[in-house]
Homo-oligomer: A and B are copies of this chain.
Amino acid sequence: MSFAKLDAHCRSLIALEHALSILGVDEATAMAPGGGEQRAEAMAGLSGMYHRQATAPQVRDWIEAAKTETLDQAQQTAVAELERSYVNLTCLPADFVEHKMRTGMRSEQLWRTARPKGDWVGFRPALEGVVELVREEAAMRAELLGLAPYDALMEQFDPGNRTETITPVFAELKAFLVDFVPKALKIQDEKRAKRPLKPLSGIYPVEKQKALGIAMMKAVGFDMNHGSLSVSDHPFCGGVPTDVRLTTRYRTDEFLPALMGILHETGHGLYEQNLPKDWAHWPSGKARGMSIHESQSLFVEKQIGRNPAFWTFALPHVASHLGEDWAMDDLLPHVHQVKRGLIRVDADEVTYPLHVILRYELEQDLLAGRLEVKDLPEAWDAKMGDYLGISSLDAPQNGPMQDVHWPSGAFGYFPSYTLGAMMAAQQWATISRSHPDINEEIAAGDFTTVNTWRRDNIWLKASMGSTPEILRQATGEDLNPAYFIAHLKTRYGA
The stretch of A218-226, A366-374, A468-476 in contact with B is: A218-226
Cβ proximity bits A125-157 to B, threshold 8 Å, 1 near / 0 not: 000000000000000000000000000000000
Whether A42 contacts B30 in the complex (CB less than 8 A), given A37-B242, A49-B12, comes out as: no
Q: Fill in one digit per residue for A20-46: 1 if any B CB lies within 8 Å of its CB, else 0.
A: 001101100111111101110111111
**A173 partner residues in chain B, CB cutoff 8 A:** none
Residue-by-residue, is A421-444 near B (CB-CB < 8 Å gives 1, otherwise 0)? 000000000000000000000000
Q: How many Å lie between the Cα of A300 and that of B184 in the bound state?
A: 67
- Chain B residue, CB-CB nearest to A46: B15
| Candidate in A12, A35, A226 with the most chain B CB atoms within 10 angstroms | A35
Q: Is chain A's interface secondary structure helix, strand, loop, or mixed overall?
A: helix
A227: Cβ under 8 A from any B Cβ: yes
With a cutoff of 8 Å between Cβ atoms, the chain B residues found around residue A240 in the complex are 35, 38, 42
Q: Which chain B positions have C-beta within 8 A of A32?
A: 224-228, 242-244
Chain B, Cβ-Cβ closest to A45 = B15
CA distance A300 to B48 in the complex (A): 40
Choose from B22, B33, B37, B224 the contact partner of A26 (Cβ within 8 Å): B22
Task: Assess whether A334 is interfacial by the CB under 8 Å rule.
Answer: no
Q: Does A11 contact B (CB under 8 A)?
A: yes
- Does residue A489 face the partner (Cβ distance < 8 Å to B)? no
Q: Determine the chain B residues whose CB is within 8 A of the CB of A243 once the complex forms.
A: 31-32, 34-35, 38-39
A window 236-274: CB within 8 A of B:
239-245
Nearest Cβ on chain B to A455's Cβ, whole angstroms: 17
Nearest chain B CB to A54 CB, angstrom units: 13
Closest to A13 in B: B45
The answer to the question of A322 belonging to the interface, with a C-beta cut-off of 8 Å to chain B, is: no
The answer to the question of A185 belonging to the interface, with a C-beta cut-off of 8 Å to chain B, is no
How many interface residues does A have (CB within 8 Å)?
43
CB distance from A160 to the nearest CB of B (A): 29
How many angstroms between the C-alpha atoms of A39 and B44 in the bound complex?
21
Set B30, B44, B245: member contacting A228, Cβ < 8 A: B30
Q: Top 5 closest A-B pairs, CB basis?
A: A15-B45, A35-B243, A18-B42, A34-B225, A34-B226
- The 27 sampled A-B contact pairs (Cβ below 8 Å) are A15-B46, A15-B49, A16-B45, A16-B49, A18-B38, A18-B45, A19-B42, A19-B46, A22-B22, A22-B23, A22-B26, A23-B23, A25-B26, A29-B30, A30-B30, A30-B228, A30-B245, A31-B243, A32-B225, A32-B227, A32-B228, A32-B244, A33-B225, A34-B223, A35-B226, A38-B240, A38-B243
**New A-B contacts (14) at CB < 8 Å, excluding given A15-B49, A38-B243:** A12-B45, A15-B45, A18-B39, A22-B22, A22-B23, A29-B30, A30-B30, A32-B225, A32-B226, A34-B223, A34-B226, A35-B242, A37-B242, A39-B243
